[in-house]
Structure formats: C-alpha cells, structure tokens
Amino acid sequence: MQTQVKQVTPEEYLELERKADFRSEYRNGEIVEMTGGTIDHNRIAGNVYAFLKYALRGKGAEPFFGDLRLWIPDYQLYTYPDVMVIQGTPIFLDDQRDTVTNPCLIVEVLSKSTQGYDCSDKFKMYRSVPQFQEYVLINQYQVEIEHHTKTSEGWLLRDYGADAQSIQLRTLREAELPLEIEWAIADLYEGVTFESES
C-alpha cells in the first residue's frame, strides 16, 4: 500500500519551519526532513565559510553558512545551502530576514544521501536564480571538486582531483572588476581524515 504524502503550501511550511527544532526542506508541496551531517562535512563547510569570510571582507560580497534559508519560487523550493555568497545587498523574502533569494555563489558539501540530488535536480533549480553564477560541489570522502561557472555560452565545468593545487573563483566582482580569489584545495580539506587514511 502506498503512503499518501500530505501536501502543504509554501506559507504553511514556512510557518512550521520557523517554529521547528530541526531543519527541513520544502520541495514543491512536500516537507523533507534534513539528515544530520558528519564531522568532516561540517569541517569542510566551516573551512569554506571561514576562507570566504576573510577573502570577501570589504569587497561588497558576503558568505552565509548553514541556517540561512533560500527560496526558489520557480520550483517552489525552500532549501539550506551549505554555504552561499550574496553580492551586494541580500534580497529577503519578507521582514523576518531569515530567507534570501539572491545568492551568486553556492557551495555544497556532498553526502552519500544527497550527492545525486545536489549534482542534478538541485543544480537545475539553483540555475533559475537570476543572480546565480557559480556552483562548487565538494566531495567529503576524497579530494574531488566540481566547479561550475556560468558563461555567455552556458555552464562550464572544471573538475579538480588529488593532484590539483587550487581552485579559482571567476564570477565575483568588485566595482565591475573581477576579484582574484584562489582557494588552496588543501585548505578546503583542512582537518579532514579520509576513510582510506584511518
């Protein structure tokens, strides 16, 4: 027997979510409970946020980490990217100031349970955000990074493995000039112990 999933409106979800003790996504009428992350997931996301906070200070862009919600109206999606960067002033959904709509850069740390979703459907939904220009997917189980950059001809993919030294962000700008932001891949994985090393 198939279980019926109760459909809720975006407004109903938001009211519930703002009172909840744990985070959930909203996907086109369904509330999807988010699973807890691993310590390495947390380390990588923290490393990314710390690096971007320092690198973007005074540059007109700001990173946000974990608990800030993103609303994507075209796909009726409320979600919590691991890290996102907003260029200029955040555009809020409402006066609660806990949901934004205008990230230009999103970073997701991949988990076994969410990897397929983050790489396909979620990326498609993120691309409907007009300001969205750059997407970085970081594998927490080995040194492996996918870096998607929006160009005039579409999205360009660069892959980075264990032999790569750094990754360069390409779309952040200050006063119409590109910011030169280069991440050392070793810094992104600082503190992480892979299963093969333990």
Domains of the chain: 38-197 (3.90.1570.10)
pLDDT for the residue 117 = 85
pLDDT in tens, 96-125: 999 999 999 999 999 888 888 888 999 999
- CA dist., res. 60 & res. 58, Å (int): 6
**Residue 181 and residue 92: Cα distance in Å, rounded?**
26
Spell out the long-range contacts of 21-30 with Cβ–Cβ below 8 A and sequence spacing 24 or more.
23/67, 23/80, 25/77, 25/78, 25/79, 25/80, 26/76, 26/77, 26/78, 26/79, 27/76, 27/77, 28/75, 28/76, 28/77, 29/76, 30/5
Q: What's the rounded mean pLDDT across residues 128-146?
A: 97
Q: Is the pLDDT of residue 183 over 50?
A: yes
Partners of residue 159 on adjacent β-strands: 146
Residue 2 pLDDT: 43
Contact yes or no for 136/105 (Cβ under 8 A): yes
Instruction: State the pLDDT at residue 9.
Output: 96
Counts of helices then strands in the chain (DSSP H, E): 5, 15
Residue-averaged pLDDT of the chain: 92
**Separation of alpha carbons 47 and 53, rounded Å:** 10
Alpha-carbon distance of 108 to 148, in angstroms, equals: 12
| Share of residues in the chain with pLDDT > 90 (%) | 80
pLDDT for the residue numbered 3: 45
Give the pLDDT confidence of 18-28 residue by residue, as tens digits: 999 999 999 99
